[in-house]
Structure 1
């Protein structure tokens, strides 16, 4: 079994972005993203790759796109199912979905873990985070960070995983 997790940050009113940007700056909030994705297979949509990750080529990135990707280190898949097949072929034990909104809305139906950060700001946005289905997921960990702006980390897991061990610092599932 491949553990499927997703990680994202929203404002307190569930905004992911505005006009291809993240409409806030929260010092330190990216540390959890780095910890959750380090040495793991990362899956993202083409627009997310082009907007935020193009300057970070890695053999650990799969971009979902019907268009060719101009980076030989990045793998391309046409669908989330195809990305899962690539992960299986590579013998991966975990993949982390990092956006965008369309991919999150598809992945929330099949993922096992959601690492969400909520930045306590009100912003204008045009892209929203997925609705976390409470019949499938349970909130198992929260850490509030008092910065300017303040934010909190939350970890949601499928109910079958609610007794699994989490790291103390970022609430990451220990595999």
Structure 2
């Protein structure tokens, strides 16, 4: 199977209670395959990573988030995975964006992937769930993000993964 190279911009949307919005995805060709992932998606040819992040937040949540609300990159990751018969080699950049209670109420999660569900997750829920969450080890990674942003730390590379073959 040929790998499609893809660049993505992902957003860690966190509310005032430090909960993270995750969307639920499924693979129609693999019954029972289900995972939770952050808001975000592919960087289009005429975009940079920030423009893609803002567009994806709008497309997936109906929230108009200005670029200035996005943190610098906090994580990067390289992932190989397949979904619906297509294989991807995907580079990901993750940024933090805090949302207010009013913005949470106004959100309208409307992406195709979210038809399988979306929810706000606490770190404790992420730490104890048996569900598949991407990136892996989200519960241990997430608490350090606000501090890393405040201190201007360089991004952390989470690693290179093959989601189809690496153990959870």
Greater strand share, structure number: 2
Give the TM-score range, shorter chain: under 0.3
TM-score calculated relative to the size of structure 2 = 0.26
Q: Give 1 or 2: higher helix fraction.
A: 2
Under a length normalisation based on structure 1, what TM-score does the superposition of the two structures give?
0.25
